[in-house]
Amino acid sequence: MGLFYAYLGILGAALLLLPFLRVEAKGGIAIGASCALAMIGGYFAVLALSGHETGLILAGTQVTGPIPIRIDALSGWFILLINFTILTGGFYGLQYMKAYRDQKANLSLHCMAFLLVQSMLSLLCAVQNSLVFLFAWEIMALSAFLLVIFEHLKSDTIRAGINYLIQSHVSIVALMAGFIWVAYRMGSYDFQAIRDFSASFSHLNSLALFLVFFAGFGLKAGFVPFHTWLPYAHPAAPSHVSGLMSGVLIKIGIYGILRMILLVETDYLVLGFLLLFMGVISGLYGVMLAILQHNLKKLLAYHSIENIGIIGIGIGLGTIGLGLDNAALSTLGFAGAMLHVLNHSLFKSLLFFSAGNVYQATQSLNIEHFGGLIKKMPHTAGLFLVASLAICGLPPFNGFVSEFLIYSGLYLGLGNDSPVMLFGFVASLFGLVLIGGLAIFCFTKAFGAVFLGSPRREFAHVSEVGLGKLIPMYAVVVAMMSIGLFPGFYLELLSAPLAAFEAKMPGVQQAAGIPANIAGLMTDIGLCAAGLIALVGAVFFVRQRAGRRQPVMVGPTWGCGYVGDASRMQYTASSFVRTYRKLFEPLFSIHKKKKPVEGIFPEGGGHETHPYDKTELWLIDKPLKILKDFIGKFQFLQNGNPQFYIFYGVVFIALVILVPMLAEGLSFLLDFLNQL
């Protein structure tokens, strides 16, 4: 209890203090407060993960009723990973924001919003009262909006911010609808009421309730077709905020979905296949669009959708496991999903930080402008490479572990008997493999075009970033490697949250901890990862030894006989993906501008492609246009004339008074007529 109030106290004190500090001190104090908050949150989280759940009930107010704070293992896992990424993001942001020291007021707002996002994300994992949950959700959404629009003088940024603001409120509406439905039926705001609700109503009702919640949480997580805000908001925000949003903010949606699976009792088989389907679609759609992007951060944002899809596949498998009373399947699915949540928060934030380094050095995010940055920024390039390998799920990095768990789940599912389910599993397998392949395609493009080759444009002052930025990034790499090499330890951490899911299967005998065969698998994978690193090292060592006495020459790249400057002829990112684009063209809407090279002395040709999101076209733009056309018909009301506005007010007041009077008169008249 005391620690909880200390948490709120530190938050409040920091918020009050921040505006009055010198600009140099703001960041430091904010980070200090952030560390303290993370430590308290982490303490509870570690307690919960080791089996000691925290449960306390605050008195609350007359409106909210008692406010239960329950930190169970699931909350613990999410609180831990949220705070880790926020801390690294904070330390990185401290350096990143030095470039904006002149915007004093803006910086205080930024620091305050940062702390609010951190505390609200942690609180959301702990609070189990729907009203307070919605309040925290709203504060989080608003402060994330403030974080996004830091560079609010750019019109693109403010547009992206408002887009985000509106869409996150749509998600709140969906959540509100769900919670009101439960509160109306059960008369309680406690999350336990959701469990009671699904116990006392049919499975179909519970499924509908889950879908309402899924719309809300899925919008935050970025499942297709609820993803359209993501590719705008992430590039617009400063890089540490993008990393934070993509790493942990969207994961609160995943937390919500997992929490609802724990609470809602329904037909898990149907639900599981639905989630599996959503996952595959999101994964494929996200990565397919990511490949086409020219903006580095937008590319990464589409990859978040892909990874949410992979997490969705994991959750779907786990839920199917619940439906089939198959403990192994549910363990593999949920473990894969939750581990991937952590993995993605690590490598995606690292990717965004690297993109931030590139942005601050060049003031550009267009992939086609770069090239050869690896020579000027070797650390950034190396970090980006490590994160790319990890996000493609390649061993020996952490992404492989979670994807391997999900693959194992899919292969386990193939042991099933019903042909319909088998088709579902094979289709998902196909989807997941394709996602992996496309991710490799995408990241070879991104890494190759940005860091390799020769420069495509001259940038004035490109140099490696300072230690202040590199240290938090290397901290993330250490965390990533530890997962890749010691996956067993992390799976053991997950055993408490997994037990909560297993408790949903009353018919299945509960085993303590992770099943031995899966734990053994994790040891094998860790050993394989270590072996792979050792093998690469050994081969490289032999190569160095063998090459020591041989002559080494340096020359130009082989140009097939051409000896002039070939740097303008090198393959661009667009040409790298051209065959792919041609292959899948019918699925996208791409605006192309082409200026062919003509004549004996050509004036310079050009080729531009602007990929656009087809779902956005159909789900956002078209309905919006129809709505605008309809509302536009009433535009005459808004004529800018103050007298008219006063007149509207008078009409309104008159109606407010007259309508009840008329109604009363009418009922009086009816009574009178009845008596006749």
- Minimum CB distance to another protein smaller for 47 or for 452: 452
Q: Are 76 and 93 in contact (CB under 8 A)?
A: no
Decide whether 511 or 535 has the Cβ nearer to another protein.
535
State the minimum distance, in angstroms, from the CB of residue 124 to another protein: 35
Pick the piece of the chain touching another protein (CB under 8 A) from 95-103, 362-370, 504-512, 556-564: 556-564
Cα separation, 491 vs 493, whole angstroms? 5
Cis? peptide before 419, omega within 30° of 0 = no
Binding test (CB under 8 A) with another protein, winner from 412, 465, 479, 491: 412
Q: How far is the CB of 425 from another protein (least distance, A)?
A: 8
One of 5, 411, 489, 612 touching another protein (CB under 8 A):
411
563 three-class SS:
coil
Rounded least distance, CB 180 to another protein, Å: 44
Number of residues engaging another protein in binding (CB under 8 A)? 84
Q: Give 482: exposed, middle or buried? Use CB within 10 Å, 0-12, 13-18, 19+.
A: middle
Q: Tokens 């402060």 map to which residue?
A: 143
CA-to-CA separations, 667 to 643, 656, 664, in angstroms, rounded: 36, 17, 5
Q: Are 92 and 240 in contact (CB under 8 A)?
A: yes
From candidates 78, 179, 189, 404, binder to another protein by CB under 8 A: 404
Give the Cα separation of 115 and 108 in Å (integer). Answer: 11
Applying the rule CB under 8 A, the residues between 413 and 472 that interact with another protein are: 414-415, 417, 419, 422, 426, 429-430, 433-434, 436-438, 440-441, 443-445, 447-449, 452-454
Of 116 and 374, the one with the shorter C-beta distance to another protein is 374
Structural tokens at position 606: 């050009």
Cβ 412 to another protein shortest distance, Å: 8
Helix (H, G, I), strand (E, B) or coil at 294: coil
Q: Which is nearer to another protein, 245 or 406 (CB)?
A: 406
103 binds another protein (CB under 8 A): no
Residue 218 or 487 with smaller CB distance to another protein: 487
The single residue among 51, 556, 623, 665 that binds another protein, judged by CB under 8 A, is: 556
The full DSSP string for 288-319 is HHHHH--BHHHHHHHHHHHHHHHHHHHHHHHH
Q: How far is the CB of 295 from another protein (least distance, A)?
A: 19
Decide if residue 607 touches another protein (CB under 8 A).
no
Cα separation, 239 vs 227, whole angstroms: 20
CB of 276 to another protein, least distance (A): 15
Using only C-alpha atoms, the chain has a radius of gyration, in whole angstroms, of 28
Minimum CB separation of residue 485 from another protein in Å reads: 15
What is residue 229's three-state secondary structure? Answer: coil
Tell me: does residue 577 bind another protein (CB under 8 A): yes
Q: Is residue 559 part of the contact set for another protein (CB under 8 A)?
A: yes
Residue 597 is a binding residue for another protein (CB under 8 A)? no
Give the whole-angstrom CA distance, residue 665 versus residue 12. 55
8 Å CB contact between 473 and 25: no
Please calculate the CA angle 227-240-617 and round it to the nearest 5 degrees: 20
CA nearest 295: which of 621, 593, 609, 616?
A: 609
Kindly identify the residues of this chain, within the stretch 374-403, that bind another protein according to CB under 8 A: 374-375, 378, 381, 385, 389, 392-395, 400, 403
Task: Write down the least CB distance from residue 119 to another protein, Å.
Answer: 39
Q: Are 39 and 147 in contact (CB under 8 A)?
A: no
Q: Which is nearer to another protein, 422 or 620 (CB)?
A: 422
Give the span between the Cα atoms of 210 and 194, in whole angstroms: 10
Would you say 52 or 375 has its CB closer to another protein?
375
Q: Report how far residue 398's alpha carbon sits from residue 402's, in angstroms, rounded to the nearest whole number.
A: 7
Residue with smaller CB distance to another protein, 531 or 665: 531
CA dihedral 345, 482, 314, 384 (to 10 degrees): 50
* Three-class SS state of 69: strand
Length of the chain: 676
Supply the minimum distance, in Å, between the C-beta of residue 523 and another protein: 9
Q: How far is the CB of 341 from another protein (least distance, A)?
A: 20
Quick one: tokens of 560? Answer: 């097939």
Residue 554 neighbours by CB under 8 Å, 6+ apart: none
| CA of residue 62 relative to chain centroid, distance | 35
Q: Does 588 bind another protein (CB under 8 A)?
A: no
| Choice from 310, 576, 611, 613 touching another protein (CB under 8 A) | 576
Task: Return the number of the residue (113 or 289) whose C-beta is nearest another protein.
Answer: 289
Q: Which of residues 618-657 bind another protein (CB under 8 A)?
A: none
Closest CB to another protein among 94 and 288? 288
Binding another protein (rule: CB under 8 A), the pick from 567, 623, 659, 662 is 567
> Which residue of 212, 408, 488, 501 would you call a contact of another protein, by CB under 8 A?
408
Of 301, 447, 458, the C-alpha closest to 364 is 458
What is residue 56's three-state secondary structure? Answer: strand
Site for another protein in 347-376 (CB under 8 A): 371-372, 374-375
CB of 336 to another protein, least distance (A): 12
Choose the binding region for another protein from 63-71, 141-149, 570-578, 613-621 (rule: CB under 8 A).
570-578
Among 205, 570, 609, 615, binds another protein (CB under 8 A): 570
Q: How far apart are CA 128 and CA 70, in angstroms?
A: 7
Q: Quick one: 166 or 539, whose CB is closer to another protein?
A: 539
Q: Is 579 in the site for another protein (CB under 8 A)?
A: yes
Site string for another protein, 515-554 (x = CB under 8 A): --x--xx--xx--x--xx--xx-xxx--x--xx--xxxxx
Cβ proximity to another protein: between 245 and 373 the closer is 373
Residue in the structure block whose two tokens are 């076209």: 617
In the complex, what is the shortest distance from the CB of residue 418 to another protein, in angstroms, rounded to a whole number?
Answer: 8
Q: Within 55-202, where are the H helices?
A: 73-96, 104-126, 130-148, 155-186, 192-200
